């Protein structure tokens, strides 16, 4: 008697409906090109033939669960440990995404060569040959004696080898190149990425292996593949940086073992990635004297206050429609702030081009930059050079009020540490006690802030 052939099935990535035949449009939700091949599962229930097929399991009260301290594995890079929440946790799965050439493979190769000196480590590459990885390690002058390499794209072969070698830490570079033989779709497809990632996550949890997955990104900068990929892993890191800048920022957007939106700063050199312990010193420009349109603000990214320079250039427009260009800031918020400056500050920019820039390629998305933006615009428009030892931060409302921002005292202490002597901040952010060497001015309205400069 011949063995019955397993029938393929297709599921919609939008609504999850399952059909036996592929179609261009989902019949349930109406979405186009969302039907992907999936692995058939056994029926979980059959109410007509006895109900649920599974076996009842033992449940545990929440108060009876024993809580053990999770030991952390130091990666050798302090900035990476900061973003991970203190280091790697056994059995954790970390997904790292970033633009091509940003330095993902370099970062992980540096990390694994350090960890290989202490623990067993396995680097699985699906994009490069073993010779290419070895040449990069030699160019970066990394220790090469104890790190194990493997060039493989079959998930079955990868898991079999990992089960035999039993590494403490493993890297798969990248998840889009790995495929499983149970699916006929090409590597990088939605179903392939989902099934391979699920198999790797199960292996990591069962064996206690700390796992790094490298993920590609789309043109919009989001991680490629199904959205469920980010839900499966424990930590999602984004590696960011401008192509013409040597500075790289790694940011955590999901972390089950630490804080989210944490930030780590690196510099790309000919010897690989170098940690930047004091990013504020890099993002601050030093001039021979103060210049119009420049002011320093204190932003907060993760748990770390950062001092960045905000520059403005206001000039007569040569076109019928004045331009509003913002680099590192929200362009829509800039247009709103200029309207507030005109209405409640008496500073008009109609008929003028306004260009804003955050030095160093930093992206400031918090509202605490509002006050610094308006002060720099006023400084450029009136050719008024602000004191180079002045900082400002605060949110500006539509009625011109200056609203407080979180962690105001930490921002002031960070500025005082770098030698700034005067600050214009929301009145609600005034420190409870005096800060040595700093004069803090509290304001409640935009007019008061303009008067203070």
* 185-214 per-position pLDDT tens digit: 889 888 899 999 999 999 999 999 999 999
Residue 238 is part of a domain; what is its CATH number?
3.40.50.300
* Residue 158 and residue 185 in contact, taking contact as beta carbons nearer than 8 Å: no
91 within some domain: yes
251, 158: one domain: yes
9-18, 44-53, 336-345, 423-432: lowest mean pLDDT where? 44-53
* Residue 49 and residue 216 in contact, taking contact as beta carbons nearer than 8 Å: no
198 within some domain: yes
Q: How confident is the model at residue 44 (pLDDT cuts 50, 70, 90)?
A: very low
289, 168: one domain: no
Helix (H) or strand (E) holding 78: helix 78-84
67 within some domain: no
The parent domain of residue 406 ranges over: 282-452
292 within some domain: yes
Say what the pLDDT of residue 361 is. Answer: 74
405-408's contacts with Cβ under 8 Å and 24+ in sequence apart are 405/300, 405/366, 405/367, 405/368, 405/429, 406/300, 407/300, 407/305
Q: Give residue-wise pLDDT tens across range 131-181.
A: 999 999 999 999 989 999 999 999 999 999 999 999 999 999 989 999 999
Q: What is the mean pLDDT of residues 109-132?
A: 94
* Residue 84 and residue 252 in contact, taking contact as beta carbons nearer than 8 Å: yes
Q: How confident is the model at residue 54 (pLDDT cuts 50, 70, 90)?
A: low
58 within some domain: no
Residue 433 is part of a domain; what is its CATH number?
3.30.230.10
398, 418: one domain: yes
Tokens read off for 300: 């907060």
61 within some domain: no
158, 273: one domain: yes
32, 138: one domain: no
286, 265: one domain: no
Say what the pLDDT of residue 200 is. Answer: 96
Domain end point (choices 254, 277, 300)? 277
Residues in the chain: 453
Domain end point (choices 251, 277, 303)? 277
Of 42, 41, 34, the C-alpha closest to 190 is 34
65 within some domain: no
301 within some domain: yes
288, 319: one domain: yes
Quote the number of domains for the chain.
3
261, 295: one domain: no
């Amino acid at each position: 008697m011949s063995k019955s052939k397993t029938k393929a099935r297709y599921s919609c990535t939008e609504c999850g409906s399952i059909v036996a035949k592929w179609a261009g449009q989902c019949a349930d939700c109406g979405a186009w090109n969302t039907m992907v091949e999936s692995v058939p599962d056994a029926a979980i229930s059959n109410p007509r033939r006895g109900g649920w097929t599974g076996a009842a399991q033992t449940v545990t009260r929440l108060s009876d669960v024993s809580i053990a301290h999770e030991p952390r594995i130091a990666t050798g890079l302090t900035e990476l440990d900061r973003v991970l929440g203190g280091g790697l946790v056994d059995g954790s799965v970390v997904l790292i995404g970033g633009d091509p050439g940003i330095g993902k493979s370099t970062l992980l190769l540096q990390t694994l060569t350090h960890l290989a000196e202490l623990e067993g480590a396995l680097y699985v590459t699906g994009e490069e040959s073993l010779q290419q990885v070895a040449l990069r390690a030699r160019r970066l002058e990394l220790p090469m004696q104890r790190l194990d390499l493997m060039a493989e794209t079959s998930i079955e072969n990868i898991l079999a080898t990992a089960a035999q070698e039993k590494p403490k830490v493993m890297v798969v570079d990248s998840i889009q190149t790995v495929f499983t033989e149970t699916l006929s779709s090409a590597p990088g497809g939605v179903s392939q990425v989902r099934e391979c990632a699920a198999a790797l996550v199960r292996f990591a949890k069962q064996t206690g292996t700390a796992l790094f997955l490298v993920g590609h990104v789309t043109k919009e900068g989001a991680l490629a593949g199904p959205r469920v990929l980010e839900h499966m892993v424990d930590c999602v890191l984004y590696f960011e940086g401008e192509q013409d800048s040597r500075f790289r920022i790694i940011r955590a957007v999901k972390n089950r073992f630490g804080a989210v939106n944490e930030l780590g700063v690196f510099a790309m050199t000919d010897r690989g990635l170098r940690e930047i312990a004091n990013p504020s010193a890099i993002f601050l420009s030093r001039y021979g004297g103060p210049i119009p349109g420049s002011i320093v603000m204190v932003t907060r990214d993760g748990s770390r206050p950062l001092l960045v320079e905000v520059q403005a250039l206001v000039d007569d427009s040569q076109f019928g429609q004045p331009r509003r260009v913002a680099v590192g800031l929200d362009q829509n918020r800039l247009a709103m702030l200029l309207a507030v400056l005109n209405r409640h500050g008496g500073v008009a920019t109609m008929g003028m081009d306004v260009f804003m820039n955050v030095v160093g390629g930093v992206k400031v998305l918090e509202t605490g930059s509002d006050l610094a933006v308006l002060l720099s615009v006023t400084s450029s428009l009136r050719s008024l050079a602000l004191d180079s030892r002045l900082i400002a931060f605060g949110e500006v409302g539509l009625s011109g009020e200056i609203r407080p921002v979180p962690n105001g005292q930490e921002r002031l202490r960070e500025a005082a540490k770098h030698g700034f002597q005067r600050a214009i901040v929301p009145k609600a952010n005034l420190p409870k006690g005096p800060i040595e060497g700093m004069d803090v001015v509290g304001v409640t309205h935009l007019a008061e802030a303009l008067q203070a400069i």
